[in-house]
Amino acid sequence: MRNKKLIILAHCLLNQNSTLLGWERAPGPFPELLSLLSEHQVSILQLPCPELAYLGLERPPMTFEEYNTFEYKVHCIHMLKPFSMQLRHYLNHDYEILGILGIEESPSCDINNSRGVFMKALRVTMNALKSGSFEAADKLDLPEVLDGENYERYLSSLRNLIAEFEVK
């Protein structure tokens, strides 16, 4: 039996090998994140990593302004095409998007500070599929600094997001 609960994740939340060398925040996926989603039977839609596909593993650190180019925006839109086809099927069959998890201060995947080029393309893509679907989804960024307190606050926010969804 399907529960029709989905969450959209930035690629590196499940694969820290895709981040800039030395910028990883965990050795692999975030185990607490996976455990929490599994415990509440929330299925995962993993976004592709636009930076890895664009510049590879040995890419230099770049700012939002450096990624905010016509070429990179086209690249992001192109990368979202297969994802949007999958998402369309889910939305057409009444699946609910619990939320979107991004990466704070990422030039591509920051959501809440509106600094992510890729997340802006995702907003356009999702809203084209179902009016307002991006705005309706809760959004949460993994903190840039992952000390114990920040990470616990993040996990607490994620627990609250899941709890709100389960009440609906």
Give the start-end residues of each E strand in the chain.
5-9, 43-46, 96-103, 138-142
- pLDDT band per the 50, 70, 90 thresholds, residue 2: confident
- The yes-or-no verdict on residue 125 having pLDDT over 70 is yes
pLDDT of amino acid 22 = 82
- Looking at residue 166, its pLDDT comes to 67
Mean pLDDT on 40-55: 95
Question: In this structure, are residues 91 and 128 in contact, taking their beta carbons and an 8 Å threshold?
Answer: no
What count of residues does the chain have? 168
**Candidate from 20-24, 72-76, 92-96 with smallest mean pLDDT:** 20-24
Class of domain 5-167: alpha beta
Other Cβ atoms within 10 Å of 149 Cβ, number: 10
pTM of the model: 0.88
Looking at residue 146, its pLDDT comes to 66
Residue 118 has, within 13 A of its CA and on its CB side, a CA count of 29
